Chain A
Amino acid sequence: MSSQHKPRNWPAWTFLGTVLAFLYVPLLPPAIRSFSGLEPGQGELTHYAAIFDDPVLIGSILNTLLIGSLVAVITPVLALLISQALRSWKAPRLILGLVLLPLFIPGVSMGVATALFFRVLGIDPSLLTMMVVQVLWALPFATLVILTVMANFDQTYLEAAHMLGANPLRAFLEIELPQIYQGILGAAIFSLILSFNETIRTSIVQGGRNTVQTYLWAQYQQVGLSPKLHALMTLLIAATLIMLALMALLESRTSGSRQ
Chain B
Amino acid sequence: MSVSGKSSVARLFAFGIPLVTVGAFILAPIAIMAVISFWQKTGFSMRPAFVLDAYRAFLGGVRFEVFIRSLWVATSSMVIMLLIAYPVAFLIATRVRPDLVRTVLFLFSVPFLVNYILRTFAWADILGRSGAVNSFVLWLGITEQPLDWLLYSQFSVYLGLVTAYMPFMVFPIWLSLSGIDRRLQEASWMLGEGPRHTFLRVTLPLSLPGVFAAAIFGFVGAFGEFAVSTILGGTGYQLLGNSIVSALDVINYPLAAAMSTFTVGLMAVLMLFWFRLFDLRLFLGKIMGRS
Name the CB-closest residue of A to B37.
Answer: A116
Name the CB-closest residue of B to A5.
Answer: B97
Say yes or no: is A126 at the interface (Cβ < 8 Å to chain B).
no
Collect the chain A residues with CB atoms within 8 Å of residue B267's CB.
104-105
Query: What is the number of residues of chain A that contact chain B, defined by CB distance less than 8 Å?
Result: 87
Collect the chain A residues with CB atoms within 8 Å of residue B10's CB.
169
On chain B, which size bracket covers the interface? 35 or more
- Asked if B15 contacts A82 (CB within 8 A), the reply is yes
CB within 8 A of B225: which of A106, A150, A194, A204? A106
- Asked if B15 contacts A109 (CB within 8 A), the reply is no
Say yes or no: is A161 at the interface (Cβ < 8 Å to chain B).
no
The digit string for B6-20, where 1 denotes a CB below 8 A from any CB of A, is: 010011001110110
Say yes or no: is B206 at the interface (Cβ < 8 Å to chain A).
no
**Nearest CB on A from B262, distance (A):** 9
Given contacts A23-B163, A88-B11, contact A15 B87 (CB under 8 A): yes
Collect the chain A residues with CB atoms within 8 Å of residue B244's CB.
108-109, 112
Say yes or no: is A179 at the interface (Cβ < 8 Å to chain B).
no
- Asked if B288 contacts A27 (CB within 8 A), the reply is no
- Asked if A113 contacts B226 (CB within 8 A), the reply is no
Collect the chain A residues with CB atoms within 8 Å of residue B227's CB.
199-200, 217
CB within 8 A of A114: which of B29, B107, B118, B275? B29
| CB under 8 Å from chain B, chain A span 163-218 | 167-169, 193-194, 196-200, 204, 213, 216-217
- Asked if A144 contacts B287 (CB within 8 A), the reply is yes
CB within 8 A of A113: which of B113, B120, B264? B264
- Asked if B121 contacts A168 (CB within 8 A), the reply is no
Say yes or no: is A50 at the interface (Cβ < 8 Å to chain B).
no
Name the CB-closest residue of B to A163.
Answer: B2
Given contacts A88-B11, A114-B29, A116-B33, contact A82 B117 (CB under 8 A): no
The digit string for A45-73, where 1 denotes a CB below 8 A from any CB of B, is: 00000000000000000000000000000
Q: In the complex the two chains form, what is the Cα distance from A86 to B102 in whole Å?
A: 25
Given contacts A30-B122, A114-B29, A144-B287, contact A193 B113 (CB under 8 A): yes
CB within 8 A of A199: which of B91, B115, B284? B115
Interface of A is mostly: helix
**Nearest CB on A from B27, distance (A):** 8
Q: In the complex the two chains form, what is the Cα distance from A20 to B122 in whole Å?
A: 16
Max count, chain A CB within 10 A of own CB: residue among B16, B23, B122, B244? B122
Which of B141-149, B178-186, B189-197, B215-223 has 4 or more CB atoms under 8 Å from chain A? Answer: B215-223
CB within 8 A of A84: which of B15, B36, B110, B118? B15
Q: In the complex the two chains form, what is the Cα distance from A200 to B91 in whole Å?
A: 34
- Asked if B7 contacts A151 (CB within 8 A), the reply is no
**Nearest CB on A from B52, distance (A):** 18
CB within 8 A of A248: which of B106, B118, B241? B106
Interface of B is mostly: helix
Q: In the complex the two chains form, what is the Cα distance from A107 to B115 in whole Å?
A: 12
Name the CB-closest residue of A to B103.
Answer: A248
Collect the chain A residues with CB atoms within 8 Å of residue B290's CB.
151
- Asked if A148 contacts B3 (CB within 8 A), the reply is no
- Asked if B289 contacts A204 (CB within 8 A), the reply is no
Name the CB-closest residue of A to B213.
Answer: A104
- Asked if B95 contacts A12 (CB within 8 A), the reply is yes
Given contacts A82-B19, A107-B224, contact A28 B122 (CB under 8 A): yes
- Asked if B91 contacts A197 (CB within 8 A), the reply is no
Collect the chain A residues with CB atoms within 8 Å of residue B230's CB.
221
Known: A23-B167, A109-B263, A120-B36. 18 other contacts (CB 8 A): A15-B91, A20-B108, A22-B163, A23-B108, A81-B15, A81-B19, A92-B284, A93-B284, A99-B22, A108-B224, A109-B224, A113-B29, A116-B33, A151-B288, A152-B289, A193-B113, A194-B113, A236-B115
Closest 4 CB pairs of A and B: A106-B224, A151-B289, A85-B15, A117-B29
Q: Provide a sorted-by-A list of 22 A–B residue pairs whose CB atoms are within 8 angstroms.
A: A25-B122, A27-B111, A28-B122, A78-B18, A82-B19, A89-B15, A93-B280, A96-B284, A103-B217, A105-B220, A106-B241, A108-B224, A113-B33, A117-B33, A151-B289, A200-B227, A216-B118, A217-B227, A220-B121, A220-B231, A240-B114, A241-B114
B interface residues, Cβ below 8 angstroms from A: 1, 3, 7, 10-11, 14-16, 18-19, 22-23, 25-30, 32-33, 36, 84, 87-88, 91-92, 95-97, 102, 104, 106-108, 110-115, 117-123, 125-126, 132, 163, 167, 216-217, 220-221, 223-227, 230-231, 240-241, 244-245, 248, 253, 256-257, 260, 263-264, 267, 271, 275, 280, 284, 287-290
